[in-house]
Amino acid sequence: MNKLINIEQAIDLIKDGDTIFVGGFLGVGSPHRLIDALVKRGTKNLILICNDTGTPEVGVGKLVVNKQFRKIIASHIGTNKETGRQMMEGETEVELVPQGTLIEQIRSAGYGLGGVLTPTGLGTEYAKGKQIINVDGKDYLLEKPLFADVAIIAATKADKFGNLFYHGATRNFNNITSSAAKITIAEVEELVEIGDIDPDIVHTPGIFVEYLVNGGK
């Protein structure tokens, strides 16, 4: 089984209209080369699910500037004025979700759950239209799973089976999103042979990763 593909082959896997997860937090731990190639390709009408929309110059923000999304689901867009402009002018639909809820919705999708119950957002406008479920006297919001067609993520180190290791604060959404997409493509800084990563330090098991792109540092 060869998971290693080149960047063009990776971008071929993302079709117009797809829902995509993009890993990273304000661009830290984002798959920058895949993002640049997707900007170049110009794939359109995508739905983005990502923690934030980076900045106009960094990370997933470049795809926003290039108007490749019809809808954005994120916890924070304040660092990218273009996202706010597109939302205000009705060009792009934006759905804001609390960060802890967003990651749990993705985890639910990948981990076989029908959703999660969280107290976050109770009593606010965000909760409007959401089902409230009472468990042992406490109210929770039902938050449903969020799936994607393709996840593009970044890792510090991978073996050729796709076992991933992340340095520092780059794990963020990368780890969980890998479980919830039909196809997960990991851009890796360092690619090693199978057996060269100690199984004790694998953060993302390779079974969640369909394809690898050797990104270099």
Partner 1 sequence: MDVKSFIAKRVAREFKDGNLVNLGIGLPTMVANYVPENINVIFQSENGFIGLGPAPAPEQLDPAITNAGGIPVTVKPGAAFFDSATSFGIIRGGHVDYTVLGALQVDEKGNIANYMIPGKMVPGMGGAMDLLTGAKKVIVAMEHTAKGSLKILKKCNLPLTAINAVDLIVTEMGVIEVTPEGLVLKEINPEYTVEQVQAATEATLIIKGKPEIMKLD
Based on CB atoms, which residue is closest to partner 1, 41 or 203? 203
Which one of the spans 7-15, 36-44, 119-127, 194-202 is the region binding partner 1 (CB under 8 A)? 119-127
DSSP 38-50: HHHHT--SEEEE-
Residues 6+ away with beta carbon under 8 Å from 116:
101, 104, 105, 107, 108, 142, 143
In angstroms and rounded to an integer, the radius of gyration of the C-alpha atoms of the chain is 17
DSSP 159-203: ETT--EE--GGG-TTHHHHTTSEEEEEEEEEEEE-TT-S-GGG-S
By the rule CB under 8 A, 86 interacts with partner 1: no
Least CB distance from residue 111 to partner 1, whole Å?
10
- Tokens 């759905």 label which residue? 95
Site for partner 1 in 26-65 (CB under 8 A): 26-29, 51-52
Question: In this structure, are residues 23 and 153 in contact, taking their beta carbons and an 8 Å threshold?
Answer: yes
Least CB distance from residue 12 to partner 1, whole Å?
28
Going by their DSSP bridges, the two strands 148-159 and 138-143 should be labelled as unpaired
Q: Which sign, positive or negative, has the C-alpha torsion 103, 105, 109, 111?
A: positive
Q: Which of 167, 182, 196, 216 binds partner 1 (CB under 8 A)?
A: 167
Which one of the spans 2-10, 123-131, 180-188, 190-198 is the region binding partner 1 (CB under 8 A)? 123-131
Which one of the spans 76-84, 131-139, 144-152, 191-199 is the region binding partner 1 (CB under 8 A)? 76-84
Q: Which of 107, 145, 209, 213 binds partner 1 (CB under 8 A)?
A: 107
Positions in the binding site for partner 1 (CB under 8 A)? 25-29, 51-52, 74-79, 84, 87-88, 94, 96, 98-101, 103-104, 107, 118-126, 156, 166-176, 203
